[in-house]
Amino acid sequence: MSSTTDLHTYGGWRRSRSLGMGSLDTRQTVMLLTAVLVPLLAGLVFGVQVAVLLAPAGLLVAVLAVARRGGVLVLDAGLAWVRWRWADWRTQTIVLGQMVTPMPERWDLPGVLAPTRLLDVEDPGRGRIGVVWNQRSGHMTATLLLSPAGALLADPATINRQVGSWSHLLASLADDTSIQHAAVTIELVPEPGTQLADHVQGRLSATAPALAQQVIGELTAMAPRASAQVRARLSLTCDPSLGANAPRAVPQAVAEVLRSLGSLAVSAAGAEILRRASATDLIRIIRTAYDLDAEPVAAGWDKLRWADARPEHARDRYDHYQHDGAYSMSWVLLEAPRQRVSHDVLLSLLSPGRYRRRLTLTYRTLPRDVAGALLEQEVNAASVREEYKRRTRRDPTARDRADANRAARAAIEEAYGAGLVQWSLYVTTTAPTRAELAQARREVEQAAGHARLQLRLAYGGQASAFAAGLPCGVYPGDR
């Protein structure tokens, strides 16, 4: 099937920016003004000597307000390091399993996953379904296991229709007040290069025509040696307490979550639903993420409990995460592509490599009223920055003009009924040894460069970034 329809390109995303002077946000502006005004006012009231004494502190605050390293404010990076050092000194970055020390069952999983509890419920007509309940926030997360069709052989019209369906799905989340956020995860699990040949060899018929056997053999020999299992899932996190008919009991809350999950039109976006993840599925996903040696195990998962999914030993290092004899490194999105991109922009990150990789896109769709107010605030902030440049007789930069145009265009689209989505991306790679982690890091950073993404290591938050890719409803933006 062929089509002359051109492929669309996509863009228009922008980083949320609050009011501030120039390229500074509100917090940076307040810090800078404080650093300048406090010594001046102190000098006027108490004398020049006091102003001179406060000047070094003011200079330090001003530097912290504007200095960046690796795209992150030095102040934020310093606070993250201090918090991690404090937790490390108190041994809060180390997890020892129940085989070593007793652990109360209310803290089955480590770190940000500690408040979670797994509910194994019966959905009439669909069998058993697992729901992860965060007992601290009250949020509940259910997961769909997907089979993505891929777009390498699809015609342009089909691709454009699938991307449009996905945008409609995200926009529809705003109509359900109980939905907090969603996460799409693609997991690549490397396989031996001989698996395809072994698979084909075991299914060849001895009575097949010689030409057919020859063709199959040539195709197998020409196939890429690097291969991987591709696993996809969509996790939906809801707060059942929101809405007019908020349920008061856990069974009714679970039913509300499953209702929201069933309303998602995923198939139109190019992915088929394999099934709703059961409690056994969720235990296996989490356990194999922590323990690579558990991956080949095929039986016995139905006998495990939620506590059995936890790592037996884990340590949250400043720049990597050590867990059950494996080593992981996680990145968060620093900057999305500035130019418009095609639908396959993430293909390099989703291609098989030597090491296990997990890519998670998180989405928070804002309610209609909140989205309108936020976009109006963003447009006003862009206007204030433009007016500040005019009053200081400085021409706005090309980035400032492009950012203002994107903010205005987003506000217009929202006024015509479009939804507003806050999104981010997390990437995790796992290597079996510490020595191989550097090579796994280069593999991810090279792929991110091809995808035109700027990623940064989750310094001081490796365990939390690792958990963001698991189907447990962890959203790092939650407080």
Q: What is the DSSP string of 321-352?
A: EEETTEEEEEEEEEE--SS-B-TTTTTTTTS-
Quote the pLDDT of residue 318: 93
pLDDT value, residue 198 = 66
User: What does the radius of gyration of the chain's CA atoms come to, in whole angstroms?
Assistant: 26
Q: What parts of the chain have a pLDDT lower than 50? A: 1-4
Q: Exposed, middle or buried, 364 (CB in 10 Å: 0-12/13-18/19+)? A: buried
* Neighbouring residues of 238: CB distance < 8 A, sequence distance ≥ 6: 139, 140, 141, 176, 178, 179, 180, 256, 257, 260
H or E element at residue 425: strand 421-431
Q: Return the sign of the alpha-carbon dihedral for residues 158, 339, 235, 370.
A: negative
Decide if 286 contacts 470 (C-beta within 8 A). yes
pLDDT of residue 323: 92
pLDDT value for 355: 92
Tell me the residue ranges of DSSP E strands in 22-174.
68-69, 72-73, 94-96, 116-123, 127-134, 140-148
Which of left, alpha, beta for 476 (phi over 0: left; psi -120 to 50: alpha)? Answer: alpha
pLDDT at 4: 44
Hey, what amino acid is at 413? Answer: E
Q: Which residues of 394-411 are buried (b: 16+ CB within 10 A; e: fewer)?
A: eebeeebeebbebbeebb
Residue 417: its pLDDT value, please? 73
Q: What whole-number distance in Å separates Cα of residue 312 and Cα of residue 101?
A: 10
d(CA 414, CA 372): 7
What is residue 221's three-state secondary structure?
A: helix
Contact by Cβ (8 Å): 22, 389: yes
* Cβ-contact 109, 117 below 8 angstroms: no
Residue 1: the pLDDT is 35
CA–CA distance from 217 to each of 27, 214, 227, 313, 354 (Å)? 64, 5, 18, 45, 25
Helix (H) or strand (E) segment spanning residue 272? strand 271-276
- Distance of alpha carbon 271 from alpha carbon 269, whole angstroms: 6
What's the pLDDT at 2?
A: 39
Beta strand pairing status for 94-96 and 68-69?
Answer: unpaired
CB 244 within 8 A of CB 222: no
Question: Residue 310 gets which letter from DSSP?
Answer: S
pLDDT given for residue 247 in this prediction: 64
Judged by DSSP in three states, 378 sits in: helix
109-120 tens-digit pLDDT: 888 999 999 999
The predicted structure's pLDDT at residue 151: 62
Give the bridge partners for 121, in sequence order. 129
Residue 279's H or E segment, with its range, is helix 279-290
Q: HSE-up of 318 (CA within 13 Å, CB side)? A: 12
- Which residue shows structure tokens 């040539």? 218
Angle at 249 between CA 248 and CA 252, to 5 degrees: 100
Question: Running DSSP on this structure, what letter comes out for residue 10?
Answer: B
Domain residue spans of the chain:
89-366+419-468
Secondary structure (3-state) at 286: helix
